[in-house]
Amino acid sequence: MKFPQPLYRILPEKSDLTPPVISLLSANLITIVLAIAGNWDAATVIFIYWAQSIIIGIFTVVTILCADTRSISAAMNYSRAERGESGTVTPGSIRTQAVILGAFFSVHYGIFHAGYYFFIVESGLFGVVNLSSPGIWYSCGLFFVNHLFSYLYYRNRLRQDKDFMTETFTAPYYRIIPMHFTIMFGAMVIIVLGIIGITSTLPVLVLFLLLKTATDMAMHLQKHPGVQENKAH
């Protein structure tokens, strides 16, 4: 299914309106409704962003560990043969690489997010995150289900070539950069609004959630611009 034609002015040309895209859009829109209904503050909204980033990290590790080692080793051996290099890459060596890469990612990515958890929750910089609020966990659950569905949908549809492991490993880090700027920008906005006497930041947060939705969609479509079947079995 295709997007409406005018949207291709801002979306990648090969983007398709796939079930995971619809699921991701629905999860974001429901989160916006929950934010308005629950009158969420900045801390809650940024915590949701942080939680979704953790979920992405979890499925990144799963994707690395469950990579099709036979397809990847075949692609790497083909590339070596084209360059005239000797030696072969075995599925077993790719499996070992996947375990090492997955473990390193878990530690490194986890350290980053432990630091962000301190700034978002423990520091109180954005306010108090009410972790007992059902809306927070409902939203987190929606994003978990969305990313689980997306993983299962694309698992056997994507071509896993020689760069698959590296690209899978690096992709989530592109999310850390906007999170970093979001935290700094959000803090400045809240401080400025407080100085001028505006205590309600919900309109700003809804705008942020809309921008987050657009970012999520763009990152997803960039990662999955067109489904290429993995036929190397």
78 domain-assigned: yes
Our count of domains for the chain comes to 1
Q: Is residue 228 part of a domain?
A: no
| Inside any domain, residue 11 | no
- How far the first Cα of the chain sits from its last, in Å, is 27
125 is a domain residue: yes
**Nearest-CA neighbor of 62 among 117, 144, 142?**
144
pTM of the model as a whole: 0.80
162-210 confidence digits (pLDDT tens): 888 888 898 888 767 766 676 667 667 766 766 777 666 667 777 777 7
Residue 60's alpha-carbon distances to 66, 101, 102, 156, 211, in angstroms, are 10, 11, 8, 15, 23
pLDDT of residue 141: 95
What would the two tokens of residue 145 be? Answer: 């289900």
| Residue-range definition of the domain harbouring residue 210 | 18-220
Closest to 205 measured CA to CA, from 77, 74, 33? 33
Whether the per-residue pLDDT at 10 is higher than 70: the answer is no
Residue 98 lies in a domain: yes
